[in-house]
Amino acid sequence: MRRRETWRVAAHRGRPDIMKRTRRSQTPALRSREWFGKDDRWGVAHRAWLRAEGFSEKVFQGKPVIGICNSWSELNNCNAHLRQVAEAVKRGVWEAGGFPLEFPTISLGEMLMKPTTMLYRNLMAMDVEECLRAYPLDGVALLCGCDKTTPAQLMGAASADIPAIMIPGGPMLRGMCRGEELGSGTDVRRMWQEVKAGRMSEEEWCEVESCVSRSAGHCTVMGTASTMACIAEALGMTLPGAADLPASDSRRLALAERSGARIVEMAREDIRPSAIMTRRALENAIRVDMAIGGSTNAIIHLIAIAGRLGISLPLEAFDRISRSTPVLANIRPSGKFLMEDFCYAGGLPALMKEIAPILDTKAPTVTGKAMGENIARAECYNREVIKPRGEPFKPEGGTVILRGNLAPAGAVIKQSAVSPELARHKGRAVVFENNRDLLERVDDPKLAVDESSVLVLKNAGPKGAPGMPEWGHLPIPTKLLKAGVRDMVRLSDARISGTSYGTIVVHIAPESSVGGPLAVVRNGDWIDLDVTERRLELLVGSAEIKKRLRAFRPAAPHYERGYGRLFLDHVLQAHEGCDFDFLRGRSADRMPPPERFPNPSV
Ligand code: FES
């Protein structure tokens, strides 16, 4: 029915391009033709209203309509250059015979948005999904950058399942201060410790502010934004080399132009995210996450993306892959270099080529070629930055999964950033009931704490905080900093920034506010951490733990109404990806023909 209708309309309008294609090809009908390909009242109305923007009739002559889903915002410095990137994408779309239409979604700026962007990742994913479903789009170019904007777009695109290509915004230029290279959050965090310890002057500290962020683009270390850009590329959702080109590098705009051209072809070929983000691609992405020493946040996001595709990714998959994947990227916070160095050393394609024997190189990608073909000609130009597989930077993957009576559903630690002397540690708990309690007491000179203590933060998880903020990098008490302590074992149900480092256990599940065992840890309890054995135990008898849990009473919810209430009612735990329970899976229904939804104003 649809083919006959398209043919009829094409014939009526004397459009040989459409007629030829409709007659001879197996090409699926473009979705946008439901809006623009008819001569009835609604077809005319849809074209007429869009022509208000100054488009000629030519744009409706069978061109695939390509949405440019832009998370640009002046409130999000990491994505502040994406209007320019969008223009480059448009060039590519026009060149390839498509019709580009840019549209905004909410943007999640990690630095300014409170209490945490994680509270809003699912909201952005819903925004993306519903825009893709509701508008006449045949394909979409996803423009992202800052931490949560990448997974939110991938989740939304996975659920909407129309052809999609991602163009990450790239890292900002490296920080430079008094001859020293600075990596976004990692070095600011380190320097703040030096200020508190009295080893850095006010003048130097002020200078850091003007030197650390020298351009638009996301953070310069292998934090969450860099990790998620690498994961998008490893999933096959970007053109090769998209993850690490600096934001201000002219080659990023050229890549955006090429991406614009490619999404037009993908729309014609009807290559959808579900055909690319398969289980094999997800396992490739986990392996890459391990090899780059990626952010712990990637685990949550990958589980959520997989959930949208109906694929279960248990935490054990991460641990299994971690054990057989060496860390090759010598990049902060685990290593020495920055994302710019990674790019100039050959970038992600060079790293992936190095681990090709343990990747599924047949996984399909947006290029239309298998991953193995995409990386076949990659070369490494700096073996200090990207280590050979035979001489890895670290022998095992960056992130590992812990289990034990303190984390029955799992916990996460970035072992590549752990102090070796603390990888196996028993210490007494110093407990903070919530983040406010932590901030009020951690620097109290009377706090009973020493370098062997284990700092414990409760009520910082998905429901407890709420939104699971990056509070897991508990500050070391100032009195210990002054004594020269630079790392301690720290535990929480929060997340940490990808720029964090140290012996920090996060994502403890179930979280304390829903009655996970973390809720009943008391000051002075012994805690046993063994990263090699993947163990996290509260050394308290099981009868006593049960007794304490029976006495547990949850706190009142943080929100009574609005989006916050929706979040609290539906958010899943960390090991389930923190998606909403009702968002898992794909949209079963493609958008029905728009004439079923006439606009009464026409
Ligand atoms: Fe946006 Fe770091 S603040 S990536």
pLDDT of residue 601: 60
Q: Are 518 and 508 in contact (CB under 8 A)?
A: yes
The ligand 1 atom at the shortest distance from the C-alpha of residue 110 is 3
Return the closest-CA partner of residue 468 out of 318, 334, 555, 575: 575
Q: Is residue 391 part of a domain?
A: no
| Three-state secondary structure call for residue 414 | strand
Q: Is residue 365 part of a domain?
A: yes
CA dist., res. 323 & res. 215, Å (int): 37
Task: Answer yes or no: is pLDDT of 305 > 60.
Answer: yes
Distance from the Cα of residue 549 to its chain's centroid: 34
Query: Do 156 and 188 reside in the same domain of the chain?
Result: no
Q: State which of 79, 120, 147 you would mutate to test the pocket of ligand 1, scoring each by most atoms of that ligand within 8 A of its C-beta.
A: 147
CA dist., res. 502 & res. 531, Å (int): 13
Whether 222 lines ligand 1, by a CB cut-off of 6 Å, is: no
For 562, residues 6+ apart whose C-beta sits below 8 A from its C-beta are: none
CATH number at residue 462: 3.50.30.80
Query: DSSP states of 125-168 as a string?
Result: HHHHHHHHHHS--SEEEEEE-STTHHHHHHHHHHHH-S-EEEEE
| Three-state secondary structure call for residue 516 | coil
Query: Do 323 and 412 reside in the same domain of the chain?
Result: no
Query: Do 357 and 466 reside in the same domain of the chain?
Result: no
Q: Is residue 381 part of a domain?
A: no
Q: What is the mean pLDDT of residues 512-517?
A: 98
Whether 225 lines ligand 1, by a CB cut-off of 6 Å, is: yes
For 113, residues 6+ apart whose C-beta sits below 8 A from its C-beta are: 75, 120
Task: Answer yes or no: is pLDDT of 16 > 60.
Answer: no
Number of domains in the chain: 3
pLDDT of residue 578: 98
Distance from the Cα of residue 562 to its chain's centroid: 25
CA dist., res. 122 & res. 308, Å (int): 12
Query: Residue 526 belongs to what domain range?
Result: 402-550
Query: Tokens 């009931």 belong to which residue?
Result: 433
Q: Which of residues 375, 393, 410 is at a domain's end?
A: 375
The ligand 1 atom at the shortest distance from the C-alpha of residue 499 is 2
Query: Do 132 and 188 reside in the same domain of the chain?
Result: no
Q: Is residue 555 part of a domain?
A: no
Nearest residue (CA) to ligand 1, atom 1: 146
Whether 110 lines ligand 1, by a CB cut-off of 6 Å, is: yes
Task: Answer yes or no: is pLDDT of 13 > 90.
Answer: no
The ligand 1 atom at the shortest distance from the C-alpha of residue 77 is 1
Query: Do 348 and 464 reside in the same domain of the chain?
Result: no
Whether 147 lines ligand 1, by a CB cut-off of 6 Å, is: yes
Q: Is residue 141 part of a domain?
A: yes
Size (the chain), residues: 602
Query: Do 263 and 195 reside in the same domain of the chain?
Result: no
Whether 470 lines ligand 1, by a CB cut-off of 6 Å, is: no
Each residue's pLDDT tens digit, 176-230: 888 888 887 778 888 888 888 888 888 888 888 888 888 899 999 999 999 999 9
Q: Is residue 389 part of a domain?
A: no
pLDDT of residue 10: 38
Nearest residue (CA) to ligand 1, atom 3: 110
Burial of 451 (0-12, 13-18, 19+ CB in 10 A): middle
Q: State which of 75, 79, 107, 110 you would mutate to test the pocket of ligand 1, scoring each by most atoms of that ligand within 8 A of its C-beta.
A: 110
Rounded to the nearest angstrom, the distance between the alpha carbon of 225 and the centre of ligand 1 is 6
Task: Answer yes or no: is pLDDT of 11 > 60.
Answer: no
Each residue's pLDDT tens digit, 548-597: 999 999 999 999 999 999 999 999 999 999 999 999 877 655 555 555 66
Query: Do 479 and 543 reside in the same domain of the chain?
Result: yes
Rounded to the nearest angstrom, the distance between the alpha carbon of 109 and the centre of ligand 1 is 7
pTM of the model: 0.92
Task: Answer yes or no: is pLDDT of 92 > 80.
Answer: yes
Each residue's pLDDT tens digit, 415-471: 888 999 999 999 999 999 999 999 999 999 999 999 999 999 999 999 999 999 999
CATH number at residue 28: 3.40.50.2300
Query: Do 437 and 306 reside in the same domain of the chain?
Result: no
Q: Which of residues 524, 550, 576 is at a domain's end?
A: 550
Question: Which amino acid is it at 597?
Answer: F
Query: Do 345 and 417 reside in the same domain of the chain?
Result: no
Query: Do 186 and 285 reside in the same domain of the chain?
Result: no
Q: Is residue 498 part of a domain?
A: yes
Q: State which of 117, 218, 221, 227 you would mutate to test the pocket of ligand 1, scoring each by most atoms of that ligand within 8 A of its C-beta.
A: 218
Confidence of residue 333 (pLDDT cuts 50, 70, 90): confident
Whether 219 lines ligand 1, by a CB cut-off of 6 Å, is: yes
Q: Is residue 2 part of a domain?
A: no
Query: Do 363 and 333 reside in the same domain of the chain?
Result: yes
Task: Answer yes or no: is pLDDT of 110 > 80.
Answer: yes
* Residue 167 backbone phi and psi in degrees, to 5: -125, 95
Q: Say which residue, 210 or 243, is predicted with more confidence.
A: 243
Q: Are 168 and 237 in contact (CB under 8 A)?
A: no
Query: Do 350 and 408 reside in the same domain of the chain?
Result: no
Question: Which amino acid is it at 130?
Answer: E
Whether 173 lines ligand 1, by a CB cut-off of 6 Å, is: no
Whether 505 lines ligand 1, by a CB cut-off of 6 Å, is: no
Q: State which of 71, 111, 121, 173 you would mutate to test the pocket of ligand 1, scoring each by most atoms of that ligand within 8 A of its C-beta.
A: 111
